[in-house]
Amino acid sequence: MTEPVLHSSHLFTLSLTVDPNFTDLGETPYGRRRIAAVTGGRFEGEELKGTVLPSPGGDWLLLRRDGVLQLDVRITLKTHDDHLIYMSYRGMRHGPAWVIEQLNKGEKVDPSQYYFRTTPSFETASEKYRFLNRIVCVATGRREPTGPIYDVFHIL
């Protein structure tokens, strides 16, 4: 088997604001389901920067029984030059119980203490940013008291 060699370039850093008043569906057959509204944010990179539209946008969270937080996020980006980009990603966050407890309290924790990764994808009608429709990305995340922050990388 040939192991893949991955090369990447930083696409942008994304900071989100999330409404702390989420909808809690309770224990489902898959775990505890919560839905949180993404209320805005910003993104900035060398080729791409702008804001996150406040609505519609959300995070369909699932706290699995094994302690893994599964993310399913859908947002709309608006570039500084007025192009719209739909961004969605799935991912997961997990770590030692004491780290997750601190994160849940809104405390700042060194991101090396937990695993937080996502796989963003994009969809746009913009000719200028159409390259986003044809790339694969991964992101590393960290949870700050103000909301999640992701460094999004284009896999070359």
Tens digit of each residue's pLDDT (9 = 90 or more) over 48-95: 999 999 988 999 999 999 999 999 999 999 999 999 999 999 999 999
* Domain encompassing residue 120: 8-155
Which structure tokens are listed for 28?
A: 């489902």
Q: Does residue 114 come out as left (phi exceeding 0), alpha (psi in the -120 to 50 range) or beta?
A: beta
Confirm whether 147 is domain-assigned. Answer: yes
Confirm whether 3 is domain-assigned. Answer: no
> 67 and 94 in contact (C-beta within 8 Å)?
yes
Confirm whether 50 is domain-assigned. Answer: yes
Q: How far apart are CA 14 and CA 29, in angstroms?
A: 32
Number of structural domains in the chain: 1
Q: How far apart are CA 88 and CA 139, in angstroms?
A: 12
User: What is the CB-side half-sphere exposure of residue 24 using CA atoms within 13 A?
Assistant: 6
Is the pTM for the entire model greater than 0.85?
Answer: yes
Confirm whether 139 is domain-assigned. Answer: yes
Give me the pLDDT at residue 20, please: 87
- pLDDT, mean over the chain: 95
